[in-house]
Amino acid sequence: MFEYPLLMMFPVAMAFAGAMDLFTMTIPNRVSLGLIAAFAISALMVGMPLLTIANHVSAGLLFLGIGVFMFWMRWLGGGDAKLLAAAALWLGFGSMMPYLVMVTLFGGVLAIVLLTYRSIIPPVWIMGQEWAMRLHDRNGGIPYGIALAGAALWIYPSTPWFAAFAG
């Protein structure tokens, strides 16, 4: 019975982060911190071996370092960097390559969609929406949390977590 909320914790948090990035261009710290706490609780509840936990924590720390570097280079926002690290913690090294491939694909599609959107005059009905106009700004960033979240939702059903919780 307790497995179902844990099963849904990662995808719900990732979807929330992607939606927040779309509408506000920010990903709250509480999302990444919540994912870290949920990982710890979930790992204990499923009886994850210590070596596997170490693998996941190592992946999270490695990708936190990569995310910080990308933030420093202004390639990625701070919330995106923290969300990437939290996703790596959940996915571990075993699922990171497919995740990164999907992040790249989703990110490319997102960039093309935004470039197209920024090259047209938005419809009248959307001009009053602050978030839509922020996305339309040619000098604005890309809410990459959408790509991080989309890839996580795509990959999650094939992870050992899903198999352990779903039975």
pLDDT tens digits for range 65-120: 999 999 999 999 999 999 999 999 999 999 999 999 999 999 999 999 999 999 99
* pLDDT reported for residue 3: 66
Of the candidates 89, 93, 103, which has an alpha carbon nearest to the alpha carbon of residue 148?
Answer: 103
pLDDT tens digits for range 14-57: 999 999 999 999 999 999 999 999 999 989 888 889 999 999 99
Domain region containing 111: 3-166
pTM, whole model, 2 decimals? 0.92
Query: Measuring CA to CA, how many Å separate 10 from each of 37, 39, 84, 111?
Result: 11, 8, 12, 25
Domain count along the chain: 1
C-beta atoms surrounding 115 within 10 Å = 11
Of the candidates 157, 152, 160, 165, which has an alpha carbon nearest to the alpha carbon of residue 13?
Answer: 152
State CA 64 to chain mean position distance.
Answer: 13
